[in-house]
């Protein structure tokens, strides 16, 4: 298995380093007359992510680990920038009798059966640990430099880098560097969203209005980017996908046009308190009032046994008196 990893593929250089890494690893494998049975390529994946959680490499360390005997990288920092990850991967290779190769650094750990305890392996493990420690130190240094640079640039009109806020675009800055300016298209979308929000429209209605107006939303850009990187594919092809998306948008518009329930409780003045309503209500109405409160009526125990609330007890006595009078008559 030969592999590569790049933290960011959107740099000014066009980022072909992953291709260079794969070429170096493949060339080494062929020089050893090893059969290259597959490859892994983690693009836009930070070195801070443990190898087991890297999208392309991870499965080869877990459920597919039995499908190959060696993993080949160009450099140590392409595999990990953590001494802990280095120790974990080396331990995994030793337990599973695998070979780890870092071609440009000249480091090979060969844990195939019969070679586990060789002096060369122990020496290679020392160099591998040292390389991972230096890679970890370099990562911390880079993070500190970037943090300091961002802190300084926040005081200026220069753009520190990354994805610009929606409504802006990155342009060249007079005097050097880059800066932000309102994007002529997306800035109108932001103003339109603000106008609808001030009118009291919901997020659902605003999204529907943007799509109806033809604004290119970030969600649509993300979908196109995922398709470009082959991370998303609609079974029926682009035409069927466009048709399905249009149907979905039409359904959203239909649902948004339906009468909407209030998003919260609405207080309505009735002109009376609950006590007033209770005192004027008959038995059925009082039952409805209790149901509306989701209240339950319980018997109350005392040292003399059980008794009903006074009002209900009086009603029971009246009922018994009426029954006695009727029987006496």
User: Does residue 80 share a domain with residue 22?
Assistant: yes
**Given phi > 0 = left and psi -120 to 50 = alpha, else beta, which region is 299?**
beta
Asked, for residue 272, whether it belongs to a domain, the answer is no
| 101 and 203, same domain (yes or no) | no
Region 12-37: what's the mean pLDDT? 82
What is the pLDDT averaged over residues 210-226?
A: 66
Please check whether residues 6 and 142 belong to one and the same domain. Answer: yes
Domain finish residue from 153, 176, 206: 153
Instruction: Give every CB contact of residue 229 below 8 A, 6+ residues apart in sequence.
Output: 43
Q: Identify the pLDDT of residue 117.
A: 67
Q: Is residue 276 part of a domain?
A: no
pTM of the model: 0.48
Residues 131 and 206 placed together within one structural domain of the fold: no
Same domain? For 15 and 146 the reply is yes
Token pair 């209770």: residue: 278
- What pLDDT, on a 0 to 100 scale, did the predictor assign at position 184? 84
217 in any annotated domain = yes
Residue 82: what pLDDT?
86
What pLDDT was estimated at residue 161?
74
Residues 188, 318: one domain? no
Q: What is the pLDDT of residue 208?
A: 72
**DSSP symbols for 179-240:** EEEE-TTHHHHHHHHHHHHHTT--HHHHHHHHHHHT---HHHHHHHHHHHTTS---TTHHHH
> Does residue 232 carry a pLDDT above 60?
no
* Residue 11 pLDDT grade (very low, low, confident, very high; cuts 50, 70, 90): low
Secondary structure element (H or E) that encloses residue 315, with its range: helix 310-328
* pLDDT value for 218: 62
SS3 call for 61: helix
For residue 264, is it within any domain? no
The pLDDT of residue 102 is 92
Instruction: Tell me, yes or no, whether 208 and 78 share the same domain.
Output: no
Tell me whether residue 158 is in a domain.
Answer: no
pLDDT in tens, 257-299: 777 665 566 677 777 887 888 888 888 888 787 777 665 555 5
Mark whether 19 and 128 lie in a shared domain. Answer: yes
By the 8 A CB rule, do 177 and 159 touch? Answer: yes
CATH, residue 71: 3.40.50.1390
User: Which helix (H) or strand (E) segment is 169 a member of?
Assistant: strand 168-172
Q: Is 18 helix (H, G, I), strand (E, B) or coil?
A: helix
The candidate with the shortest Cα–Cα distance to 95, out of 70, 113, 79, is 113
Q: Is residue 262 in some structural domain?
A: no
Final residue before a domain boundary, out of 119, 153, 187? 153
What whole-number distance in Å separates Cα of residue 63 and Cα of residue 57? 11
Task: Report how far residue 89's alpha carbon sits from residue 103's, in angstroms, rounded to the nearest whole number.
Answer: 17
Residue 13: pLDDT band (50, 70, 90) is very low
Please give the DSSP secondary-structure letter assigned to residue 246.
H
* Count of domains observed in the chain: 3
Q: Higher model confidence: residue 318 or residue 104?
A: 104
User: Per the domain annotation, does 267 fall within a domain?
Assistant: no
Q: Are residues 142 and 98 in the same domain?
A: yes
Three-class SS state of 262: coil
CA distance 208 to 214: 10
Of these ranges, 1-15, 30-44, 315-329, the one predicted with the greatest mean pLDDT is 30-44
Cα(110)–Cα(106) distance, rounded to whole angstroms? Answer: 13
Pair (134, 107) in one structural domain = yes
Q: How many CB atoms neighbour CB 280 within 10 A?
A: 10
* Residue that finishes a domain, picked among 128, 153, 178: 153
Report pLDDT for 39.
Answer: 86
Which ranges of 71-217 would DSSP assign to H, the alpha helix? Answer: 83-96, 119-153, 186-198, 203-213
What confidence tens digit (pLDDT) does each residue in 117-133 have?
677 778 888 888 888 88
Question: What's the domain range around 286?
Answer: 281-323
Residue 295 belongs to some domain of the structure:
yes
Mark whether 126 and 26 lie in a shared domain. Answer: yes
Query: Does one domain contain both 213 and 72?
Result: no
- CB crowding 294-314: b at 16 or more within 10 Å, else e: eeeeeeeeeeeeeeeeeeeee
């Amino acid at each position: 298995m030969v592999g590569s990893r790049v933290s960011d593929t959107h740099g000014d250089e066009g980022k072909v380093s992953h291709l260079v890494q794969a070429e170096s690893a493949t060339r080494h494998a062929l020089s050893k007359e090893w059969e290259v049975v597959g490859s892994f390529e983690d693009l836009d994946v930070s070195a801070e992510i443990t190898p087991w959680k890297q999208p392309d490499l991870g499965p080869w360390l877990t459920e597919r680990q039995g499908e190959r005997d060696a993993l080949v990288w160009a450099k140590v920092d392409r595999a990990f920038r953590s001494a802990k990850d280095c120790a974990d991967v080396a331990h995994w290779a030793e337990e599973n009798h695998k070979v780890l190769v870092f071609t440009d650094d000249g480091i090979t750990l060969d844990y195939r059966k019969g070679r586990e305890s060789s002096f060369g392996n122990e020496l290679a493990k020392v160099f591998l640990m040292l390389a991972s420690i230096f890679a970890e130190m370099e990562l911390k240094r880079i993070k500190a430099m970037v943090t300091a640079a961002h802190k300084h640039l926040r005081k200026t009109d220069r753009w520190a880098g990354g994805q610009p806020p929606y409504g802006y675009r990155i342009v060249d800055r007079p005097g050097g560097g880059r800066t932000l300016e309102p994007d002529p298209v997306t800035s109108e979308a932001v103003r339109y969203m603000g106008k609808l929000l001030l009118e009291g429209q919901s997020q659902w209605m605003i999204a529907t209005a943007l799509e109806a107006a033809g604004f290119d939303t970030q969600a649509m850009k993300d979908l196109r980017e995922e398709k470009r990187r082959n991370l998303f594919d609609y079974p029926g092809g682009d035409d069927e996908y466009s048709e399905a998306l249009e149907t979905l948008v039409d359904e959203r518009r239909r649902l948004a046009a339906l009468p909407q329930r209030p998003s919260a409780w609405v207080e309505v003045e009735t002109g009376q308190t609950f006590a007033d309503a209770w005192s004027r209500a008959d038995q059925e109405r009082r039952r409805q009032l209790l149901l509306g409160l989701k209240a339950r009526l319980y018997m109350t125990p005392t040292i003399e046994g059980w008794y009903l609330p006074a009002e209900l007890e009086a009603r029971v006595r009246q009922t018994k008196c009426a029954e006695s009078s009727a029987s006496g008559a």
